[in-house]
Structure 1
């Protein structure tokens, strides 16, 4: 969008509202350096309201066209709209408040670059999935997982591992639903609420839910993948998750779609092999519409509304030597990758 967002009041339900972790100390250890009505970015402390306004403007200015029509119901109101009976609440603004509260509450969330927070934590959606008010639900559930941990996480890597190990099982996820992988579900089931209701999704659906869960506890995350292995659409697509940590993006699969692999080792992903890299193009989804790259969606190839980063060079480099690093001969590693991926042209 090219127009400035309408002026709005940063107060009332659905507007900027801060909340510090109990005791004035963030989860994950460490003392607060910002006051209760501030959040901490890498550039220093900023008032909650100013951080809210910055993220609000960024999200509004980069709305995809299909969200522009529903801007008011997403929470992008002018100040002339009366704040009556919660009518100012919206999915986007509720998610933004939850994101800022996570930035205050969790030590691993603090000190992130503001532009990374705005795009990869505060964003209420990933690609063109149905918009859900999922953030408060996930925030509560993931916070309970963190509180129940025998060894509480202290950094991004440990919280990602903890959540990926616990969020999919009804016995540990506080969501009363086990989620499993089921191939070929996109676009029928890939928004996060549908994934929870049905209890299954394919790689796109579980990746979106995983991203939303990580964002709910202040971890910058985004969907990544390829629309076609080896640039042959009959070979099928795949999606997974990238996590921002220490100034760089690393990748991991949602446990139902992979094996709950680590962030630190690219070679523990089934698809990270020389055979899968040949002619394959890789992308990561983003929110900023100004960059000019499109995130191609295998289930909606004529939709150019989702911006992206071209990650082909990164994955070619990260995965190019994986077979030899794990002690496999190239032919053996190719066979393992083929066994893990059936090569179906159904959309993951």
Structure 2
């Protein structure tokens, strides 16, 4: 397997000038463990992605940017959304102080990854990075962006409107769209998606600024598929080492990461009869499958079983 070298400098602007100063050199990336050379960080993330590709991505690995041999780079044919996106994610990791406390393994699985579940593989990162950069660049000077929760809340309040994000459409919630519309580019083009689509778009926006995020949800309320399913996101909080959850604003406004009970679905009624909950992963050795309500026979998407966490948190509401 050929490991391609990280780009030294990205041509993509990634937003605000951070007042905090990293102790790492310009060719290094800061993680919770310390400074790592950008080349090493790139190759470690490349290896993680390559070794955990689902079967459909293994078939298309060269289109994603993974190559087993060196071939002439003709007219961009060696480029791929996974590897180009990986370079952009390293730019964000170098740039934003709120990302510096991320453990490297969390960065690799929840920031550097190019997809969450089995959504279409699209080149979302340049477009969404430009949008989140616009949002952060235009934030009023009084805006507090000192913590991960601050940044998550602010981006969630701004990214769904063209006048604040610069994206091609406003994005609204429209039920029953998955699996027709749930990859981030389709959501942007149509201007709507249901809970899965807006959750993926929201998580990708956070990943574009160095915040670890993943899709979470239940395939069946109260253990009955006829009761429907739901998706939202979880965000990794470096200060606690824990995951907190909220919905994308089009699906549920006025929510925070700090209060589980401000979500409409976090209640004993929704927990009844053993509702199960899962979060998506990329590590194929997780030992758990993420159940997709739109593709229940597909067990290739890894996951975390989060049932105990949600049952405990939401039965207290």
Q: Is the 8 A contact 1:231 1:280 kept in 2?
A: yes
Aligned mate of 2:8, from 17, 21, 41: 17
Higher Cα radius of gyration: 1
Q: Structure 1 residues 21 and 178 mapped into 2: Cα distance closer, same or farther (>3 Å)?
A: closer
TM-score by length of 1: 0.87
Q: Kindly report which structure 2 residues correspond to 1:1-348, keeping only aligned pairs within 5 A, or say none.
A: 6-10=1-5, 15-18=6-9, 27-150=17-140, 151=143, 153-245=145-237, 246=239, 247-278=241-272, 279-322=274-317
SS at match of 2:206: helix
1:102-132 Cα distance to aligned partner (Å, 9 max, x none): 0011111112100000000000000000011
Q: Is the 8 A contact 2:16 2:133 kept in 1?
A: no
Cα distance, 1:78 vs structure 2: 2.7
Cα distance, 1:153 vs structure 2: 1.3
CA RMSD of aligned residues (A): 1.7
Q: Is the 8 A contact 2:27 2:38 kept in 1?
A: yes
Q: Structure 1 residues 86 and 260 mapped into 2: Cα distance closer, same or farther (>3 Å)?
A: farther
> Number of residues paired by the alignment?
311
2-side partners of 1:282 and 1:222: how far apart? 13
1:309-329 Cα distance to aligned partner (Å, 9 max, x none): 00000001111111xxxxxxx
SS at match of 1:171: helix
Cα distance, 1:176 vs structure 2: 2.8
Cα distance, 1:291 vs structure 2: 1.4
Cα distance, 1:8 vs structure 2: 3.0
Q: Is the 8 A contact 1:9 1:79 kept in 2?
A: no
Gaps in structure 1 of 5+ consecutive residues: 1-5, 323-348
1-side partners of 2:41 and 2:250: how far apart? 35
1-side partners of 2:275 and 2:135: how far apart? 37
Q: Structure 1 residues 31 and 20 mapped into 2: Cα distance closer, same or farther (>3 Å)?
A: farther
Structure 1 stretches of 4+ with a deviation exceeding 6 A read: none
Cα distance, 1:152 vs structure 2: 5.1
Q: Is the 8 A contact 2:99 2:211 kept in 1?
A: yes
TM-score by length of 2: 0.95
Q: Is the 8 A contact 1:28 1:153 kept in 2?
A: no
SS at match of 2:175: coil
